Structure 1
Amino acid sequence: MRIHTLHREQVLDGTPAEVFPFFADARNLEAITPPLLRFRVLTPDPPMAAGTFLQYRLRVHGLPVSWDTLIQEWEPDRRFVDVQVRGPYALWHHTHEFAPEGDGRTRMRDTVRYAIGFGPLGELARRLVVRRDLDEIFDFRARRVPELLRAARGA
């Protein structure tokens, strides 16, 4: 199984203490996921902490997908890690990090380690479809997160 890594960074207005609560609300995942995926959090009002189990439903290229994750690490205002327990990937390990950038801003880093499975066929799917899909999802998030943070702060 070949493991791949996706890295993304962006600087957001607000300190880590101001930015982190947005990500501590699992319902915001719906707002930062492209509408085409029809992403829905099924777990009712999950309190985010290490050990929290979350269930989602989404559509990938029109196909319904169930996705269950576990919050493996939880350090408010600093970082958290979610891992797939059940879902479309052979491995999904997503680390979210928040660091002060100065001037009341935060550098947010996403590091996703993932694997497709299915041997050479899975690697072909990653090259042709999955890599592009992940780039589009994270590009969408990079646009939406600052907009939603501004709206939440009343700016």
Structure 2
Amino acid sequence: MTTISKSMDIAAPLSEVFTYFARPEHMADQFPENMGLNVIPLEVKNGFGVGTIFRISGDFDGKKLEWDCETIDYIPHKKIVAKMIEGPFKHWQITVDFDELGEKKTKTTLTVEYDMPMGPLGGLIDKVKLKKIAERGMENGLYRVKALLEGTGSIPVYITLEAYRKVLKEKERLKCSVSEAIVDIINQNQQQATAAKPIP
């Protein structure tokens, strides 16, 4: 059994960090684009809680791997655990632990445990190389999430450069997190729209 664990302090409120990780599809944001990692929720239960099933697929060192996972533990603002229920590994499980270090600081720890099968797949993939790829992916993933939640990262694909600059400007003005800045911008736009409506 191989266990890899990586931790990082993220300058964002615990609730914001937990909410981000609670969505399985956000796992894909944590890995390099060239891996083509996809995470697709197949069956959502209890608001992405225990019983949620999702599929992970991607290119791992030139080998296309795919497996289905189920969320087996979900403690709000503390822990999320998912394990493989069908796929190429003998065992695969990911645990994300959250520790509040302050009002706007959260320690996030990713731990992956896996066991490669014997036989064709186990022989095709170099175990040492896979561990290094996984370690690098987890560390880079935590940096990506940190940058995204702290508002210092690359522009999300679903937002324009102009909109992203507006969010960062509002974040600086309010001295708040990215998500709080987005909520503030939405509220401002709603107030302006309401004020601009003609009275019948």
TM-score tier after normalising by the smaller chain length: 0.7 to 0.9
Compute the TM-score of the two structures, normalised by the length of structure 1: 0.85
Q: Deviations over 1:26-50 (max 9, x none)?
A: 2212211211110112336844110
Question: Would you say the 8 A contact 2:22–2:80 is kept in 1?
Answer: no
Q: Map of 1:34-113 to 2, 5 A cutoff?
A: 34-43=32-41, 46=44, 47-113=47-113
Which protein has greater RCO, CA pairs closer than 8 Å, 6+ apart? 1
CA distance in 1, matches of 2:113, 2:43: 27
What is the one-letter code of the residue matched to 2:3? T
Task: Give the root-mean-square deviation of aligned CA atoms.
Answer: 2.4
The counterpart of 1:18, out of the listed 9, 12, 16, is 16
Letter in 2 for 1:108: T
Residues 27 and 136 of structure 1: CA distance in aligned 2, closer, same or farther (over 3 Å): same
Identity rate of aligned residues, in percent?
Answer: 21
Gaps of 5+ in 2: 152-177, 183-200
Report the TM-score, using the length of structure 2 for normalisation: 0.67
More displaced stretch, 44-53 vs 69-78: 44-53
**Greater C-alpha radius of gyration:** 2
Q: What number of residue pairs does the alignment pair up?
A: 151
Whose helix fraction is larger, Structure 1's or Structure 2's? 2
1:43–1:56 Cα contact (<8 Å) kept: no
Structure 1 residues 80 and 103: CA distance shift in structure 2, 3 A:
same
SS in 2 for 1:43: strand
| Larger strand percent | 1
Q: Are positions 1:31 and 2:32 aligned together?
A: no
